[in-house]
């Protein structure tokens, strides 16, 4: 029996600092309706989809910083997304900033994504592992990237979830650049890896052309998809946001590594593809048949060492 699911990436154009959750959720529900009208049963929204990408600013005021995080999910403001998902029978991936107080009373903050099924139930949660940028204010930068200051490293690993007819995995933005992210989910026979991203078009600390930045965006996801025989859906927050040009290029990638749908704007835009979850089976059974070909006795350094160490001269 074929395992087909039509999937959408719902790219968001810029969200300015003053734009409220109600307005953003309205944009997202509009796109969910568009995606559904084009046959989608699963919609992937960006990283930090409910707010502007606030780590670009050094925010000293704790209350102001807290205002960018969600303390409950769903909340009154995000409930319309869940209501519409249930009405339409559409699942979704949502990236947002999560804050809560743990049992010791400590404030915890994570860069989080959830997976919601077609009955509007939260069936999966992921907290970003690879936090890029820096932890403290670096005034010499044209803009900040304070993810290391504003979030803890995710504590849930890279779990996958059997739902909506397949094995679903999640990661967030910078995670896509790390082969380990993909392999850990590949080791769990993942069928679709969903991810949202917020990536500046320009590198604030090194010379890199926009073309090269987009190349790295796509090659990371295409390689991850192919090497694990999985679909990948990458959804951007795009356009000029908070004065910073954010990369578009949202895409749906087949297990062959081919981009089968690609956004053409840097605005709110829905792209759709029908995904045969068995498309990657031949890859997982042949060139990347892990059981036959992986040589784990030679991979120890990957988990024993963090940094690269040159051999002695
Ligand atoms: N959000 C996120 O992870 N963005 C990073 C930008 C890195 S620049 C410090 C990315 O890898 O796209």
Per-residue pLDDT of the chain (313 residues), as tens digits, is: 689 999 999 999 999 999 999 999 999 999 999 999 999 999 999 999 999 999 999 999 999 999 999 999 999 999 999 999 999 999 999 999 999 999 999 999 999 999 999 999 999 999 999 999 999 999 999 999 999 999 999 999 999 999 999 999 999 999 999 999 999 999 999 999 999 999 999 988 888 999 999 999 999 999 999 999 999 999 999 999 999 999 999 999 999 999 999 999 999 999 999 999 999 999 999 999 999 999 999 999 999 999 999 999 9
For the chain, list the strands marked E by DSSP. 4-11, 42-44, 91-101, 107-116, 122-127, 160-163, 166-172, 192-197, 231-236, 239-241, 244-246, 251-253, 259-262, 269-276
Nearest CA to ligand 1 atom 10: 174
C-alpha separations of 103 from 7, 106, 110, 153, 155 in Å: 38, 7, 16, 18, 16
Instruction: Please identify, by atom number, the ligand 1 atom nearest to the C-alpha of residue 48.
Output: 1
| Dist. CA 249 → ligand 1 center (Å) | 14
CA-173 nearest atom, ligand 1: 3
Residue nearest to atom 9 of ligand 1 (CA): 133
Site to substitute for ligand 1 among 153, 174, 203, most atoms within 8 A of C-beta:
174
The reply to whether ligand 1 has any atom less than 6 angstroms from the CB of 174 is: yes
The pTM is what? 0.98
Q: How far apart are CA 84 and CA 48, in angstroms?
A: 20
> Is the minimum distance from the CB of 197 to ligand 1 under 6 angstroms?
yes
Q: Which residue's CA is the nearest one to ligand 1's atom 6?
A: 199
Q: Which helix (H) or strand (E) holds 87?
A: helix 79-88
Ligand 1 center from residue 287 Cα (angstroms): 31
Tokens 């039509």 label which residue? 6
Q: Edge to edge, what strands does the sheet with 269-276 contain?
A: 122-127, 107-116, 91-101, 42-44, 4-11, 269-276
Catalytic residues: 47, 128, 173
Contact 247, 235 (CB under 8 A): no
Residue minimizing CA distance to atom 3 of ligand 1 = 174
C-beta of 182 in contact with ligand 1 (< 6 A): no
Output the CA 298–ligand 1 centroid distance in Å: 30
Residues 6+ apart with CB under 8 A from 129: 153, 154, 157, 158, 171, 175, 181
Ligand 1 atom 11: residue of nearest CA: 174
Ligand 1 centroid to residue 119 C-alpha, Å: 32
Q: State the Cα–Cα distance between residues 118 and 121, nearest whole angstrom.
A: 7
- What pLDDT, on the 0 to 100 scale, is given for residue 24? 98
């Amino acid at each position: 029996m074929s395992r087909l699911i039509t999937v959408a990436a719902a790219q968001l154009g810029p969200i300015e600092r003053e734009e409220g959750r109600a307005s953003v959720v309205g944009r997202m529900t509009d796109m969910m309706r568009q995606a559904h009208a084009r046959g989608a049963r699963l919609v992937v929204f960006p990283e930090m989809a409910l707010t502007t990408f606030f780590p670009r600013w050094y925010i000293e005021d704790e209350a102001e910083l807290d205002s960018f995080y969600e303390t409950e999910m769903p909340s009154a403001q995000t409930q319309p997304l869940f209501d519409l998902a249930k009405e339409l029978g559409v699942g979704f991936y949502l990236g947002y900033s999560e804050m809560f107080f743990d049992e010791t009373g400590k404030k915890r903050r994570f860069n989080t994504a959830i997976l919601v099924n077609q009955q509007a139930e939260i069936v999966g949660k992921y907290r970003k592992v690879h936090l890029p940028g820096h932890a403290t204010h670096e005034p010499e930068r044209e803009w900040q990237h304070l993810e290391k200051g504003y979030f803890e490293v995710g504590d849930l690993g890279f779990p996958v979830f059997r739902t909506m007819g397949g094995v679903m995995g999640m990661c967030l933005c910078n995670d896509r650049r790390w082969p380990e992210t993909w392999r850990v989910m590949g080791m769990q026979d993942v069928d679709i890896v969903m991810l949202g991203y917020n990536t500046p078009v320009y590198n604030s600390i090194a010379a890199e052309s926009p073309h090269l930045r987009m190349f790295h965006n796509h090659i990371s996801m295409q390689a991850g998809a192919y090497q694990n025989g999985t679909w990948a859906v990458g959804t951007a927050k795009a356009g000029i946001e908070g004065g910073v040009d954010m990369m578009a290029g949202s895409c749906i990638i087949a297990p062959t590594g081919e981009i089968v749908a690609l956004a053409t704007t840097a605005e709110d835009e829905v792209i759709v593809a029908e995904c045969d979850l068995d498309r990657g089976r031949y890859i997982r059974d042949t060139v990347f048949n892990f059981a036959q070909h992986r040589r784990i006795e030679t991979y120890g350094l990957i988990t024993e060492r963090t940094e690269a160490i040159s051999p002695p001269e």
